[in-house]
Chain A
Amino acid sequence: MGSEKVRMTTPANIVVGLGSAKEGVGHWWMQRVSSIALMPLTLLFVVPFGQTIGDGYEAVRALYAQPLHALIAILFILTNFWHLAQGLQVVIEDYVEHKGARTLMLLGNTMFCGLCAVAGVFAVAKLAFVGV
């Protein structure tokens, strides 16, 4: 207080006239799109995945040598990490107040989810193309 400069403008007055981010509800909507796509994909991926854990190397290669299972796995991985990146982004934006830390975490989130998605797709594609 005291000599501290008191800002009399409202938060709205600071942004009025600067225009919108031109993205509107895009992020919100795409999160719904990915969640709906994930409902069948998750079930179709998780069951054969769970059945194959512990069955050995040849079993997992045989599973993803089947084009349908490879397709399901690739669609699941892409949609899953897309949805995960969207969700974690909102969580970071909500809870990390420090601007620098927030920017770093948002960058890390995008890159880590992208890395995992590409690694997963690459792995399934290799298993599928090499075959048994």
Chain B
Amino acid sequence: MPNVNRGSRPLSPHLSIYAYQITWVLSILHRATGCALLVGVVLVVWWLFAAATGPDAFAVADNFLSSWLGGFVLLGSLFALSYHFLNGVRHLFWDAGYGFEIRNVTLSGWAVVIGSFVMTGGLWLLALL
């Protein structure tokens, strides 16, 4: 196509006027949680590296992760992890060619949403044991 009149053509609908649908919301959440998990894993490496450095450095990292703010970040990371984990499994099923029917996409989507809360709670309880 020649580059004629590209700028003044009508644009396809943008996010701001799209109706919320579980398909695209969960899709963008998969990316968002994946990116957000960067924070969680960097905290994990900080904690491990501090432990290898010595008791004083470790106390700083461990106190932060045990604090109110650290716990909040860890809980958020745990939810992001649970969601990304379960929705990742959903993606693997799609990659294998299963579950493309609209009804199944909606059902697996809600299963992932509910499962994320269950998995977050379960892992949090396991960590408290």
Contact = CB atoms under 8 A, between A and B. Distances in A.
A81 B62 CA distance: 22
Interface of A: 1, 6-8, 10, 32, 35-36, 39, 42, 46-47, 49-51, 53-54, 56-57, 60-61, 64, 73, 77, 80-81, 84, 87-88, 91, 116, 119-120, 122-124, 126-127
The 5 closest A-B pairs by CB, nearest first: A50-B127, A54-B66, A123-B52, A123-B48, A126-B52
Contacts of B123: 46-47, 50
A54 B81 contact: no
Chain B, interface size category, equals 35 or more
B118 interface: no
A8 B35 contact: no
B2 interface: yes
A10 B47 contact: no
Contacts of B38: 84, 88
A119 B52 CA distance: 10
Interface of B is mostly: helix
A39 B85 contact: yes
9 contacts: A39-B85, A39-B89, A42-B81, A50-B127, A50-B128, A57-B51, A57-B62, A116-B42, A123-B45
Interface string B81-114: 1000100110110010000000000000000000
Interface of A is mostly: helix
A7 B4 CA distance: 9
Given A51-B126, A127-B48, 13 more contacts: A6-B3, A7-B2, A35-B88, A46-B81, A46-B123, A47-B127, A49-B44, A51-B128, A54-B62, A54-B66, A120-B45, A123-B51, A123-B52
Given A6-B3, A77-B45, A80-B41, A122 B52 contact: yes
A116 B52 CA distance: 14
B27 to A, nearest CB: 12
A119 B88 contact: no
Contacts of B31: 87, 91
B48 A53 contact: no
B26 interface: no
A92 to B, nearest CB: 10
B126 A81 contact: no
